[in-house]
Structure 1
Amino acid sequence: MSTSSEAGAAVYSPLTLKLYDAWVLGISNQFAWHCPTRQVLQPFFDRHVGARHLDVGVGTGYYLAKARLPDTTHVTLLDLNPSSLQAAKDRFGRADTQVLQHDVFKPLDASQHGRYDSISLFYLLHCLPGTMAEKAQVFASLKPCLKDNGVLFGATILGDAADHNGFGRKLMDIYNKKGIFGNRSDTVAGLRSALELHFAQVSIEVVGKVALFSARSAIL
């Protein structure tokens, strides 16, 4: 994984993870990206999460913790950052939660294939380096892990063409310069093209400056 991609993962230290919910899920989502967590993102997560779920780019584990999942739900966490993995596992609070420290650009072991009803990528794509076409490698890596009727879903902050407000532009400038974001050129059209390379059924909804997407029927 490139240095800029590692920067996107490394920003989530134990300290920043403590601030993540308030700053990212609270202030930034509401006022910079205009896509409120409680009203939009959490319900979207809840509608798509399945009985056997793979959470990719786990953050603090907020969505899993708030989802009120049945005890029968099996969850696997995947992230490059061990601090994020530990924070999310602790917050979710279920002993049977599995953890994979893995570079999402690389294929997963065959033991993970055909295993999951759902795979989530919340606020992951905009942290990855490269164009949306290059980020499509993530879908190539993950799609074999879905069951035949499984769904890959997520949310990502769009790039400069989304016409951000002053607050959003400031955050975009800072985060892209530091390598935390890599989304200057990310568009809805680019996201759709990337998804359609790997899935027969693709749905994208834009709320504020965030694209919420779901994809089914993997093209293998």
Structure 2
Amino acid sequence: MALRQLVSRKSLGLGFGQLRGLQTFSLPDLPYDYGALEPVISGEIMQLHHQKHHQAYITNYNKALEQLQDAVGKGDSPAVVKLQSAIKFNGGGHINHSIFWKNLTPVREGGGDPPKGSLGWAIDTDFGSLETLVQKINSEGAALQGSGWVWLGLDKESKKLVVETTANQDPLITKGPHLVPLLGIDVWEHAYYLQYKNVRPDYLKNIWKVINWKYASEVYDKESE
């Protein structure tokens, strides 16, 4: 299937069903209430982001899959090719947002607590310090032209941590088959425009207060074995 079976559906907890032999997707629940990340991210933004934007990617992805099934059945090669961009964009939007929700957690549940254990050591080794890493991610995220994502990933081939940006809704895997996302920050305007008045650097500065380093550490430990 497109986008490498939409990455690891089990590990990301992506909801899916069946559509005439093709797996379709449903909006995953958030692991916290919409207002749980306030004051860093308002409940209004979280609700719109989750119910409107993420849902739109899922709806359009499922629609594109249905159209693909029909085009393949008819042997309509031009239609199959034409649908690839919609599948990549909307499928990527689902993948990225499903990771993003897990990358966040309320302060009372450990949001913002610095990474410990093997991920903490890896950050110190590859970037010098957590502060240096945060500065690099913020800088690259702020400099990204247009809409997209900034990532902390694990390169399973080199066994090193990397910072990458992707345009639009491209998942991290589009930058290399060995890259595993540990942390992804959405820098589309819909993630911050209501609260931060489209000032992306302010949003990036504050989001670290609710970053779920525990989740990132769990993924790192699993993928670095």
TM bucket (normalised to shorter chain) is: under 0.3
Q: If the length of structure 1 is used for normalisation, what is the TM-score?
A: 0.27
Q: Which has the higher helix share?
A: 2
Q: Which has the higher strand share?
A: 1
Q: If the length of structure 2 is used for normalisation, what is the TM-score?
A: 0.26
